[in-house]
Amino acid sequence: MNYRAFFGLSKEPFAADLALDAILKTEDLLAVEQRILYTIGLGAIALVTGEVGAGKSTTLRWVCGQLHPSKYKSLWVTATSGSILELYRQLLGELDIRSASSSRAILTGQIRTQILALVQSKKQQPVLIIDEASLLRLDVFAELHTLTQFDGDSKPYLPIILAGQNNLADNLLYRSAVPLSSRIVARSHLQEVNREGMERYLTHHLKIAGLKHSAFDDQAVTAIHQGSGGLFRKANHLARGALLAAASEKSQVVTAEHVRLASTELF
């Protein structure tokens, strides 16, 4: 059963790649935006933490979308558990630099040269966003601090946004990470939303897909909130599965039973 056709939806309501103007502007999102803009202005480091599926990447995507491309250059990399060289290669790609070198010193020099060119010649502010930063090895934090030092650390040319799971904050307490963490000026933690917030989220996503009313009854909203633990990514899966279950039964109202059926398929 095509649940989009059944409910009269113009598009997938719970897709991960929402257009920026379709993202729900929650209080958490707007608070993170203000902290990150403050951090960028100082050329410092911001920390964004939260459980898997709490909306970190979506929040970062929204914030980056607010940075005018003529004034800012967003450098988005996804962390791994590998060496600093892996992160540098991603960063070089974001800077449109091709390099065959495997020398850490050479790669560092190439990145720093391009950062200086952006700031001094193009009058652009580079912003390094590291998603999944909780995966970074401890020695990488020390290398990142070295990368951000210009003129003896007197020129804060490269603000960094570190985003990751809750253990990221703990990792930054280790001695090797202290030089980098000392530059953190803003910390944000994305909490799981309460039931009211979940209801707003579900209604918003149905609305942007063309449905003017919520298809989920009160018990279904409660079931999605409880089943997802207040995390948006899990809620997306449950909501999509519940819509499919309701459409299969030709029911215009999504109930808690439909959510239960969805959960048995997903988890």
Which amino acid is present at 236?
Answer: N
Residue 256: domain span: 3-13+193-266
pLDDT in tens, 83-122: 999 999 999 999 999 888 889 999 999 999 999 999 999 9
In a domain, 150, yes or no: yes
Residue 48 and residue 162 in contact, taking contact as beta carbons nearer than 8 Å:
yes
Number of domains in the chain: 2
Asked if 94 and 131 sit in the same domain, the reply is yes
The residue-averaged pLDDT of 131-143 equals 94
**Residue 32 burial (CB count, 10 A):** 26
Q: How far apart are CA 208 and CA 218, in angstroms?
A: 20
In a domain, 21, yes or no: no
In a domain, 22, yes or no: no
Asked if 156 and 38 sit in the same domain, the reply is yes
Asked if 197 and 145 sit in the same domain, the reply is no
Confidence of residue 152 (pLDDT cuts 50, 70, 90): low
CA atoms within 13 A on the CB side of 32: 27
Q: How far apart are CA 107 and CA 129, in angstroms?
A: 18
Supply the pTM of this predicted model.
0.90
Which amino acid is present at 26?
Answer: T
Four-residue CA torsion sign, 161, 165, 166, 168: negative
pLDDT in tens, 187-205: 999 999 999 999 999 999 9
The residue-averaged pLDDT of 18-28 equals 92
With CA atoms as reference, report the closest residue to 141 among 47, 3, 29.
47
Asked if 140 and 201 sit in the same domain, the reply is no
Q: Is the pLDDT of residue 153 over 90?
A: no
Please report, for the domain that includes residue 262, its CATH number.
1.10.8
Confidence of residue 266 (pLDDT cuts 50, 70, 90): low
Asked if 172 and 249 sit in the same domain, the reply is no
Q: How far apart are CA 207 and CA 228, in angstroms?
A: 21
